[in-house]
Amino acid sequence: MSYVKCLRGKESGIEYPITPRTSCDLDFSPVEVVYDYERMKGRVTRKSIEAGPQSLWRYKDLLPIEGEPKTGFHSGWTPLVRANRLAAELGLKELYIKDDSGNRPSFSYKDRVVAVAITKALEFGFKAVGCASTGNLAHSVAAHAAIAGLPSYVMVPYDLEEGKIVAMRVCGPNLVRIKGNYDDVNRLCSQIADKYGWGLVNVNLRPFYTEGAKTHGHEIAEQLGWRLPKHTVLPVAGGTILPKVHKGYQEFIQLGLVEDNQPVFHAAQAEGCCPVAKAIREGKSDFKPQKPNTIAKSIAIGNPADGQYVIQDIKKTGGFAATANDSEIIDAIQLLAKTEGIFTEPAGGTTLACAIKLINDGRIPRDEPVCICITGNGLKTIEAMNGRFPHVEPIEPRMDAFDAMMNSMPARADAN
Ligand SMILES: Cc1ncc(COP(=O)(O)O)c(C=O)c1O
């Protein structure tokens, strides 16, 4: 039996039964899954979690599903890397990378939210699923729908990276390319949900879908040896992951699984799409929508559904926000790969570039433990690195050609 009690309007407090729902009827604000944490106490323990599978389903008691998981058997439980070489570069004492670039099956944090949403879609009896997406979500929905044997309809802006389009199409979804940006796609998708009766993971399944993002935070805490980092830096697009990682930490504190070290959250956005970061920097509690123009397409959402909750959590925890321009994003992608061997996409480059600014500005003290969350994979966005590397002329397969090439190289670090 699950610990889920009901859905509740975040602003109105109105309670709703567990059925597909986009928002609160009264004020259109998001609805949130409510759990019986009292009943969990003494039952959901470090030991019970550690006995679970090596996937996000080890946190099943804290997720809104009733029966057994239907997909996502290999999603989650991604590495938490102690990033010593990057830490040395940034002058930090204790740095971790939560690396969702290798998440399964679709190589981004979205596999967490989709695993929950598609399981829920099957519990509700939907015969088809879909989403509005900036790319990674569409790839994840296509892959999980394939695993679950459901048809899928994925709706994306027309100008996505080729790698993402191929990666999603190979899973066999019905792809709908829309002449507009994500905010246009999302608006259309909300109308489609009512008309066609599909389970749209980030529309009428949204309350359940967003809960999957908590597991990114649950894992950080467990993999750190049941403690929380002092600072967590996360990218912001629609505003799902940051408040949900915060909720994940708070759940563990409430259940007595970790000590409350007053964790601080920081937001990262691209300069070309930063409604939330701008509001935080200006001390405002609400954001003004923007028209995106950035290389970080996966986080190019100008009117984020949960943006105000990001602002609230940043303020509440004493964190801050930073932005990075395209060239800083690319530099950070390369720095992460050169120090830790992790190839992330522009969303991850944004997160690292912003973390560096927050450190240099003293918002993140160098002697406090930091976790930087890497949420996507660079192999899906290789065009972002276009022009970054000089052409390498091929040589003949002979020793003299190799020696000549070596002699023409600039001073080498490995030469004695
Ligand atoms: C790679 C990647 N990181 C982060 C995000 C942030 O998403 P959100 O703020 O909506 O949770 C997205 C959203 O599409 C993404 O694709």
241 pocket-lining for ligand 1 (C-beta < 6 Å): yes
CA–chain centroid gap for 406, Å, is 43
Mean pLDDT of 95-110: 98
Among 146, 191, 136, smallest CA distance to 167 is for 136
What was the pLDDT predicted at 309?
Answer: 98
Predicted confidence band of residue 411 (pLDDT cuts 50, 70, 90): confident
Please state the pTM of the whole predicted model. 0.97
The radius of gyration of the chain from alpha carbons, rounded to an integer in Å, stands at 22
347 pocket-lining for ligand 1 (C-beta < 6 Å): yes
- The tens digit of pLDDT for each residue in 302-326 reads 999 999 999 999 999 999 999 999 9
Which token pair is 60? 């099943």
Which token pair is 314? 């940043």
136 backbone dihedrals φ, ψ, rounded to 5°: -65, -40
Nearest CA to ligand 1 atom 1: 376
Output the DSSP codes for 302-365: SS-TTHHHHHHHHHHHT--EEEE-HHHHHHHHHHHHHHH---B-HHHHHHHHHHHHHHHTTSS-
Predicted confidence band of residue 409 (pLDDT cuts 50, 70, 90): confident
- The tens digit of pLDDT for each residue in 349-393 reads 999 999 999 999 999 999 999 999 999 999 999 999 999 999 999
233 pocket-lining for ligand 1 (C-beta < 6 Å): no
240 pocket-lining for ligand 1 (C-beta < 6 Å): yes
Which token pair is 131? 């989403």
- The tens digit of pLDDT for each residue in 125-180 reads 999 999 999 999 999 999 999 999 999 999 999 999 999 999 999 999 999 999 99
300 CA distance to ligand 1 middle (Å): 9
Mean pLDDT of the residues in the chain: 97
Among 307, 231, 219, smallest CA distance to 269 is for 307
Measure the CA dihedral 234/95/218/352, to 10°: 20
Measured at the CA of 364, the angle between CA 363 and CA 368, to 5 degrees, comes to 150
What was the pLDDT predicted at 410?
Answer: 84
CATH topology for the 80-106+213-385 domain: Rossmann fold (3.40.50)
Which DSSP letter does residue 166 get? H
* Mutation choice for ligand 1 from 136, 137, 266, 350, CB with most ligand atoms inside 8 A: 136
- DSSP, collapsed to helix, strand or coil, labels residue 369 as coil
Give the burial class of 263: count Cβ atoms within 10 A of its Cβ; 0-12 exposed, 13-18 middle, 19 or more buried: buried
238 pocket-lining for ligand 1 (C-beta < 6 Å): yes
- What angle, 0 to 180 degrees and rounded to 10, lies between the N-to-C axes of helices 241-254 and 214-223? 50
Predicted confidence band of residue 39 (pLDDT cuts 50, 70, 90): very high
What was the pLDDT predicted at 416?
Answer: 63
Among 373, 361, 100, smallest CA distance to 235 is for 373
Predicted confidence band of residue 1 (pLDDT cuts 50, 70, 90): confident
Residue 374 near residue 342, CB atoms below 8 Å: yes
